[in-house]
């Protein structure tokens, strides 16, 4: 089964397929084979038990897919991580802004961080239909971050900027976005 096939199967097995949380988790897991190294895990950062609990909670009828997902997880776990990948910092940033702390908070934070390690726009790497669903997910689950991103900066750029500010690293070439030559890189449509 390839990545394109897996998402609809997962959603068919989901208890609440309409939720942005469900769609983001399904998309992140389905797109695992398109990521590199340790990010080829269904959801990086989750061990075998956590992945099983996630599947039981969000995709209770997905038992037939469990062996495949666990194989992907084991293969990814065997891959070395590069020195500075920012994954753990991003998970921590998301959890620090968790609006609905619960058992699924870590699964979602790890899924968003996993997708952030891929190469496309974040909504695409989460397998969501558009940026609108990603904004809904951020509004619902990471509300304070959504409020901080009042200018609707591209999410990967926004996360990176937040982590740089935390580390007191200056990445911006201009004191204001409006006057910056990189405005189009950080803002604008993501089609
Ligand atoms: S537009 Fe320029 S100033 Fe604004 S976040 Fe991007 S790089 Fe920084």
pLDDT score recorded for residue 79: 94
Residue whose CA is closest, atom 4 of ligand 1?
A: 177
| Residue 101: per-residue pLDDT | 94
Residue 170: is its pLDDT beyond 70? Answer: yes
Confidence of residue 33 (pLDDT cuts 50, 70, 90): very high
Question: What local confidence, expressed as pLDDT, does residue 134 receive?
Answer: 97
- Residue of the nearest CA to atom 8 in ligand 1? 172
pLDDT of residue 2: 52
Which range among 32-41, 118-127, 159-168 shows the weakest confidence by mean pLDDT?
159-168
- Residue 182 Cβ contacting ligand 1 at under 6 Å: yes
| pTM for the predicted model, two decimal places | 0.93
Mean pLDDT along residues 83-104: 93
Residues 6+ apart with CB under 8 A from 171: 160, 161, 164
- The total of other beta-carbon atoms located within 10 Å of residue 1's CB is 10
């Amino acid at each position: 089964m390839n990545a394109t096939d897996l998402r609809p199967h997962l959603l068919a097995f989901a208890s609440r397929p309409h939720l942005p949380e469900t769609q983001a988790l399904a998309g992140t897991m389905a797109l695992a084979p398109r990521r590199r190294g340790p990010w080829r895990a269904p959801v990086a950062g989750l061990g075998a038990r956590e992945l099983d609990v996630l599947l039981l909670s969000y995709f209770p009828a997905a038992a037939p897919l469990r062996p495949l997902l666990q194989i992907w997880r084991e293969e990814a776990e065997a891959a070395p991580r590069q020195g500075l990948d920012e994954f753990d910092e991003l998970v921590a940033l998301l959890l620090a802004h968790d609006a609905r702390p619960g058992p699924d908070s870590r699964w979602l934070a790890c899924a968003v961080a996993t997708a952030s390690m891929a190469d496309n726009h974040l909504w695409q790497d989460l397998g969501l239909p558009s940026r609108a669903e990603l904004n809904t997910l951020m509004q619902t689950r990471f509300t304070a971050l959504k409020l901080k991103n009042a200018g609707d900066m591209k999410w990967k750029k926004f996360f990176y900027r937040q982590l740089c500010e935390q580390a007191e690293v200056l990445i911006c070439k201009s004191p204001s976005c409006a006057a910056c030559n990189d405005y189009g890189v950080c803002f604008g449509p993501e089609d």
